[in-house]
Chain A
Amino acid sequence: MWKWLHPYAKTERTYHLCQKLLPWFSLLGLAVILVATVWGLAFAPMDYQQSEAYRIIYVHVPSAVLSKSLYSAMAIAAFVGLVWQVKTSFMAMMALAPVGATVTFVSLITGAAWGKPMWGTWWEWDARLTSQLILLFLFLGVISLYKAFEDKQQAGKAAGVMAIVGVINLPIIHYSVQWWNTLHQGASIMKFDKPSMPPEMLWPLLLSILGWALVSGAIFLLRMQNEILQRELKRPWVVALANKSAASSEGK
């Protein structure tokens, strides 16, 4: 029991848990994303309005959905870290932030590349697009606030507060298309009634969301390990681990 509570034993356990999950998330995620992308690009029927250009949906929607989920996950980690003073949860927060920022960036770029041919503009300051851009700035803000502090415990707290305050942006993103009139259309699948899509278009989309979630999960696990390593470089278990991994790579 004492070993469980021991803070260093805990991070070591987390590290090994990540190591165990990593190949599953990576391989499964890669496979699912490949199948979904090929299905969406080459096999799904075209759209009656947007012809083949709508296929951008198979990267745009998964990245946009993941950007919001990753932000929620980051905020929950920040909350747990602030309230229960769990050290690993700030590490999780900082492991999630770059993944979330990247995914948000992808959703903005793919949105622009979709907007240009269909709407006639790369960018428009409408409520949905602007709030999604704010989401990117929130991710970047959390990262840079954390880096600004010398004392990492304090850095975690400051960045955590910012992550939690930023949660208010999530419902704004989601409901922006209903509260205001925007250029961006309403939700196709994230709504309570039936999705506005036939199954032969919907399946690859749902599959691609799953694939993106798994791949983001894999990158998160890897970054979580990095966060742990970074803080415990001098711990004996890390030294033992480094020796083991060096030995196994030499053996190959």
Chain B
Amino acid sequence: MHFEDFSSFLDMAGYGLYVWLSFGCAAISLLVLWLDSFFSKRAMLKQVLTEQKRQARIKAAAEQSATAEKSATAQKSATAEQRTNGETI
């Protein structure tokens, strides 16, 4: 160990500000770059999943609407009837 105690290590013979500024800036820059890379990868994989889910939902909705088309039209006319009833009252 080159330094006698921790405070002289921090002081760096009076050049502490410059030394720690350099090392701090380097660490922060690399960390920010890494975090950006890491989180954008995660976000993209997540995006794939939501897109997949959306596609599945669209597909399911399409299937549902195909099978339930008749009942849906029946229901629609029923609600329309109800509404007109309500308005008259």
Contact = CB atoms under 8 A, between A and B. Distances in A.
| A and B held together in a complex | yes
Contacts, number: 106
Interface in B1-49: 1-3, 9, 12-15, 18-19, 21-23, 25-26, 29-30, 32-34, 37-38, 40-41, 44-49
Main secondary structure on B side of the interface with A: helix
A233 interface: yes
Given A51-B13, A52-B15, A222-B38, A246 B49 contact: yes
B22 A243 contact: no
A166 to B, nearest CB: 21
A239 B52 contact: yes
B2 A44 contact: yes
A246 B50 CA distance: 11
A165 interface: no
B66 to A, nearest CB: 25
A225 B41 contact: yes
Q: Size band of the A side of the interface?
A: 35 or more
B51 interface: yes
B57 to A, nearest CB: 15
B22 A113 contact: yes
A46 B14 CA distance: 13
Interface of A: 37, 41-46, 51-53, 55-56, 59-60, 63, 98-99, 102, 105-106, 109-110, 113-114, 116-117, 215, 218-219, 222-223, 225-226, 229-230, 233-234, 238-239, 241-243, 245-246
Interface of B: 1-3, 9, 12-15, 18-19, 21-23, 25-26, 29-30, 32-34, 37-38, 40-41, 44-49, 51-52
12 contacts: A46-B2, A52-B15, A53-B19, A59-B26, A105-B29, A109-B25, A110-B26, A113-B22, A113-B25, A114-B22, A233-B47, A233-B51
